[in-house]
């Protein structure tokens, strides 16, 4: 199989994004099908309880997945970009060992704590949390392997999420057919699907790992600890703090409203997450580490990327505002009360696009201090917004909270970037302008999209 090594940034971005969106669309369709099974089988109350269980798992997962993923993978990518494979191999070994150790520890803590959680909420929730704990462990193992592909700019694992959703759909259909699809079965379907995909990802990883590191000896000295010392524990803690505290929003809704409100909030949130998944920013964190050495070019890519993310978010939100309410009415009409909240959530999609791209840029630039400041200030404000407004305006408070979240992130990141890199200053007129470079990019995009075979050819830069 021929390997492609020389392509422009725009070609790689378009190919990677097209491939990602192709598989992403399949994943979203399968996710909706899986959600339909679960929503149809469970009552509104049961769906709310199911989401609370997943929230507990997500809080535990916050101390495993994402704890220091971005900084480690960014440095591994940089080592690959300049040919330092011994350093890349050593750092990946240490990163994988630390992540797997954390995953096992989180699984054991969750397993032991499940009875305590059950005693304070519901007697059945303990067994559900134990089942979901296996999902946490298997998911963390899969995440480690997929991050390796991202660091190596290897696109061969793009179909993984689609395979997992297909497997989950098959297990859900099996339980549905036998009339036993409840909360426990929905969780088991996720566990079994993750296990199936983990086997496939491990096979791909073994092949790519051997190809990339054939004949390369890892450096003897420790790199991960030096990396963690460079950023500091406070910066690392922000990953866990951000992900864990976000899951508390579900429990705030439970406290101030009721479990049925949790179900409506969760559905609206899940729908907007699906919509956000179509905003094409995924390739940014993969390709930008290879451009950071050219400051002028990097600044150019920063402003263009923010603009295109804003445009894409606007168009996707407009299309979703038409399509999603119709789909909910046809497929799950009992959840129509969640549609107004979803439409309010959609207003933040253009801001989400800018935020995701800016975050990728800041990670590549190692601006962890700015990212950390955002997390701690934001969560205090947004939790306060929910606590104050939920009793007054109900679930509309969640829309206000999301607008404050993404509006605050874009404002903070833009101000911070403008001060730190004044030559790259991002203004509103930059987002709305259309020039010859934009026209050239659109022409290139349409040219590349007319040749789907190019998207799926093997692209390996490492």
What digits encode the pLDDT tens for the residues 2-20? Answer: 343 455 666 666 666 666 6
- Shared-domain flag, residues 276 and 400: yes
Q: Convert the pLDDT of each residue in 88-105 to its tens digit.
A: 888 888 888 888 888 888
pLDDT above 90 covers a percentage of the chain that reads 8
- Shared-domain flag, residues 299 and 334: yes
- Bin 68: left if φ > 0, else alpha if -120 < ψ < 50, else beta: alpha
- Shared-domain flag, residues 66 and 171: yes
The residue segments making up the domain with residue 351 are: 257-456
Q: Convert the pLDDT of each residue in 230-242 to its tens digit.
A: 776 655 666 666 6
Q: pTM of the predicted model, to two decimals?
A: 0.61
Looking up tokens 């964190």 gives 285
Rounded Cα gap, residues 201 and 427, in angstroms: 42
- Alpha helical stretches, state H, 178-294: 183-213, 224-231, 233-256, 259-276, 284-287
Rounded Cα gap, residues 284 and 361, in angstroms: 8
Instruction: Look up residue 110 and give its two tokens.
Output: 């969750």
Poorest-confidence range of 142-151, 239-248, 409-418?
239-248
Per the structure, how many domains does the chain have?
Answer: 2
Q: Has residue 241 been placed in a domain?
A: no
**SS3 state at 131:** helix
Where a domain ends, among 214, 231, 248?
Answer: 231
Where a domain ends, among 231, 246, 271?
Answer: 231
- Shared-domain flag, residues 278 and 158: no
Rounded Cα gap, residues 330 and 319, in angstroms: 17
Q: Has residue 296 been placed in a domain?
A: yes
- Shared-domain flag, residues 210 and 284: no
């Amino acid at each position: 199989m021929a390997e492609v090594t020389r392509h422009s940034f725009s070609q790689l971005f378009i190919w990677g994004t097209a491939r990602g969106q192709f598989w992403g669309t399949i994943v979203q369709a399968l996710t909706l099908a899986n959600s339909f099974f679960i929503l149809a089988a469970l009552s509104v109350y049961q769906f709310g309880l199911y989401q609370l269980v997943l929230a507990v798992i997500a809080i535990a997962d916050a101390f495993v997945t994402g704890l220091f993923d971005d900084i480690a993978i960014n440095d591994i990518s940089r080592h690959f970009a300049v040919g330092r494979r011994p350093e890349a191999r050593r750092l990946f070994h240490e990163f994988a060992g630390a992540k797997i150790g954390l995953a096992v520890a989180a699984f054991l803590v969750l397993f032991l704590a499940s009875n305590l959680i059950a005693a304070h909420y519901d007697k059945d929730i303990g067994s559900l949390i134990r089942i979901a704990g296996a999902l946490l462990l298997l998911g963390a193992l899969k995440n480690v392997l997929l991050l390796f592909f991202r660091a190596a700019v290897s696109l061969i694992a793009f179909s993984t999420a689609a395979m997992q959703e297909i497997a989950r759909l098959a297990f859900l259909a099996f339980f549905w057919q036998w009339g036993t699809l409840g909360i426990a079965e929905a969780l088991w379907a996720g566990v079994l699907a993750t296990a199936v995909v983990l086997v496939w990802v491990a096979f791909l990883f073994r092949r790519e790992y051997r190809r990339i590191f054939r004949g390369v000896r890892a450096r003897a000295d420790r790199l991960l600890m030096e990396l963690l010392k460079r950023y500091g524990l406070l910066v690392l803690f922000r990953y866990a703090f951000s992900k864990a505290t976000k899951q508390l929003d579900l429990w705030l809704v439970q406290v101030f409203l009721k479990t049925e409100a949790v179900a409506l909030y969760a559905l609206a949130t899940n729908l907007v997450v699906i919509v956000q998944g179509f905003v094409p920013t995924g390739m940014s964190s993969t390709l930008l580490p290879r451009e950071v050495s050219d400051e002028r070019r990097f600044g150019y890519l920063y402003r263009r990327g923010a603009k295109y993310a804003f445009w894409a978010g606007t168009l996707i939100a407009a299309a979703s505002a038409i399509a999603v309410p119709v789909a909910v009415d046809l497929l799950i009409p009992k959840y129509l009360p969640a549609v107004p909240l979803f439409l309010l959530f959609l207003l933040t999609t253009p801001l989400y696009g800018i935020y995701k791209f800016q975050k990728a840029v800041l990670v590549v630039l190692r601006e962890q201090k700015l990212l950390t400041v955002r997390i701690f200030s934001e969560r205090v404000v947004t939790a306060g917004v929910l606590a104050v407004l939920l009793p007054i305006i109900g679930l509309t408070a969640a829309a206000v909270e999301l607008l404050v979240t993404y509006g605050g992130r874009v404002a903070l990141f833009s101000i911070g970037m403008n001060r730190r890199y004044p030559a790259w200053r991002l203004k509103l007129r930059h987002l709305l302008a259309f020039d010859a470079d934009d026209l050239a990019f659109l022409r290139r995009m349409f040219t590349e999209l007319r040749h789907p075979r190019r998207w799926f050819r093997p692209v390996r830069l490492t």
